[in-house]
Each structure stands twice: as structure tokens, then as C-alpha cells.
Amino acid sequence: MAAITLSGVVKSYGRVTAVHGIDLEIAHNEFVVLVGPSGCGKSTTLRMIAGLEEISGGEIRIGGRLVNDLPPRKRNISMVFQNYALYPHMTVRENLGFGLKIAGQPPAVVAERVAEAAAILGLAELLDRVPGELSGGQRQRVAMGRAIVRHPDAFLFDEPLSNLDAKLRGQMRAEIKKLHQKVETTVVYVTHDQVEAMTLADRIVVMRDGRIEQTGTPIEVFSHPVNTFVAGFIGSPPMNMLPARVSGGALRLADGTGIALPERLAGRAPEGAEVILGIRPDDLSPVGHGLIEAGQGAEVEMTVEIAEPLGMESLILSRLGGQEVQAKLYGPRFVAPGERLTFRIALDRAHLFDAATGRALEAG
């Protein structure tokens, strides 16, 4: 149990720089999720914390101790790998107890801790099998069990659920969350799945191209994305981004559609500024079928191109300002392609970004 601090951590592979100076403070017992598109350096960052990759610059501290030059075995961390990385020639019992045995724990202690972990993860019946005789989900559990028996200072997870099917993934996600509440430990969790990130994290770290774009609680990152990248990455379905120009106190979209500039955002963009209006699909709903109270926000007419009914809600693909947008319709209602509906935009939850830099336009 310990805090982890990264300051100016750089990783280069020859001429390629995978991580460009990352600063991150992870508090004791915090569950931090590194999220970002493929190749953004999440795994590399995690592996540097684990000591599996040498760092090319900066400092990593675990529990206040500088670990830059310590091999993985001296860092007292556990890691769960994407491919489970179980020891194929050992039984589940041996897999779980291996780290303790190596640490020189007496057999009685090993047996006790293995039993404890097996109980937490429901592995008791599988203890005498070898990994080749387990299903994916069971292997995943063994990998987690192997991590928790050692009572490490921190858990590192590298996309532990990406090899599981959707249902099992949901189940394991809940188990990981429970596990974190049970065995209080610092967790660094890597995923490219923003749903996993939102549901698990105390704090989300959004990365792109080896840099941290934003750090914050799931709600912060969701409601106050600092730029168009974070806005587009967090939230599903992704936020609609509409280029617009500020003119006469209103936003004029590419095709001339005018939308009143909401008061909340009015001060942030000067007259004539090129901006991007960000609207989440949940904030764009047909009148009477959304979460937006009547009389609020702006109203636009759009033609439905495609409707994807999901049961309690439908995803509607349409066009606004000459651009494809996704909207959400709440309640079970059939929508035919080509139907013209009046949509309401929850402008109080809309986002405004600078068109040139992509940065969120801040108040004042």
C-alpha cells in the first residue's frame, strides 16, 4: 500500500519516443485508470512502473522510495497481464503460491494465503488444475489471485479484461471493483475501453501519443473535457463536434443554421471566433423524448437517417449543420428513416472548443 509518483517520466525506443515526460501523482489506495487509444503509451507507462521497462528519463517513486533502478522483484508490486501470463506448468495452487514461495514464506503461510485468495475469487475447486484446463475467465481470476496473495504495495493491471467476452467482462469489472474495496490497495489500471475506465476509476488519466491529456474523476473528465480529444474519447456514443462561427451572439453552423449562444458560454468566445460546438448524444433528443426539460435549450429540426432501437432508447443518426450527428431518443418509440423531428439541444451542457487548438474555451 503506497502512493506512486511519476515525475517527468520519458521512454524512448531508439529514435521513437513512446512516452514524453509524464507527471502523475497516485495517492495511497487510489484506483487510477490510464485510458487512451491504441499505441498511446499506456502499457509502456505501466511497465515502467513495474520495472519491466527501463525509463529513459525522469523519476518513479513508490511509497516515497525512488525505484528507477530497482528490478521488478524489489518493487513489491503485482501485475495482471492481458494474456494472463500464468505459469503453464504449475497448478493453480502453485501459480498462486509461487510469489510467496520465492519470497521464502513458510509453506503454512503460503497455503493459508492461497486459500484466502482462492476464497475471495471463487477458485477453491480449481486449485489442482493447470492453466491449460481453465477457461479464459477462470485464468483471468487466477491471474488476479496471483496478484493479491502477495499483499503488494500496488496492483498494476494491463487490459486484464480485453480477452473476455462482453458478459464476462462486465462480471469481472464488478469483481475487480469489489476486490479493490476488499483489499485496499493502490491500483493502476490500463484499458482502452472508456466504459471500463469510467466505471472503475477513482481518477482517470486520458493519454494520447505518450502525453497526458487530462486527469480527473470520471465525472470531471466527462463533464469538463479539456479538449476535443478527451471530449471525443470519453463518453459513448461519442460527442458530436460541430464546427461553428460566433456571429451576432449566436453560433452559426457550417450550413448557416443558427443556434443561440448559451449564456454560460457567451463570454468565452469573442465575436467572429471559429469554434467547435460539442454536444453529447444524450443532450440532443427529440422533443418529449429526452432528459431535457421543456422550454430549455435550443430547438432544431432534423431528418432521421438511421434509427437504432436499443429497447428503452434509440440511437438516431441524423444531420446537423451539414454534419452527421448522433442523437438519443428515450422511451420505446418507433422512428422511421426520413421522419422529420424537432430535437432539443441541452445547451447548458454543451461544450465549446477553440477550432484551431481544440482546447476547451474557459470562462473569462
Contact segment (CB under 5 A) with Mg ion among 43-51, 149-157, 226-234, 298-306 equals 43-51
Q: Which is nearer to Mg ion, 43 or 285 (CB)?
A: 43
State the binding string over 133-162 for another protein (x if CB under 8 A, else -): xx----x------x---x------------
> Pick from 100, 111, 108, 179: which is nearest to 141 by CA?
179
> Can you give the C-alpha Rg of the chain in angstroms?
24
Question: Pick from 44, 140, 214, 215: which binds ligand ATP (CB under 6 A)?
Answer: 44
**Chain-centre distance for alpha carbon 330:** 25
Report the site for ligand ATP in 158-197 (rule: CB under 6 A).
Answer: 192
d(CA 362, CA 75): 41
Residue 88 touches another protein, criterion: CB under 8 A: yes
Count of residues engaged in binding another protein, rule: CB under 8 A: 30
Closest CA to 9 of 218, 198, 207: 207
| Stretch of residues binding another protein (CB under 8 A), selected from 81-89, 164-172, 206-214, 231-239 | 81-89
Non-local (6+) Cβ contacts of 291 within 8 A are 282, 285, 330, 346
Closest CA to 60 of 15, 99, 16, 2: 2
Q: Which does 102 bind (CB under 5 to 8 A by kind): another protein, Mg ion, ligand ATP, none?
A: another protein
CB-based contact 320:253 (threshold 8 Å): yes
CB 42 within 8 Å of CB 212: no
Nearer to another protein, 51 or 225 (CB): 51
Please pick, from the candidates 15, 16, 166, 181, the single residue that binds ligand ATP as defined by CB under 6 A: 16
Note whether 150 and 78 are within 8 A (CB).
Answer: yes
Contact between 43 and Mg ion by CB under 5 A: the answer reads yes
Give whichever of 155 and 353 is closer to another protein, judged by the CB atom: 155
CB atoms within 10 A of CB 34: 29
Of 33-41, 246-254, 313-321, 337-345, the segment contacting ligand ATP by CB under 6 A is 33-41
Give the residue, chosen from 64, 132, 272, 311, that forms a contact with another protein under the rule CB under 8 A: 132
316 SS3 class = strand
The contact set with another protein (CB under 8 A) reads: 50-52, 71-73, 77-79, 81, 83-90, 98-99, 102-103, 130-134, 139, 146, 150
The contact set with ligand ATP (CB under 6 A) reads: 13, 16, 18, 36, 38-44, 192
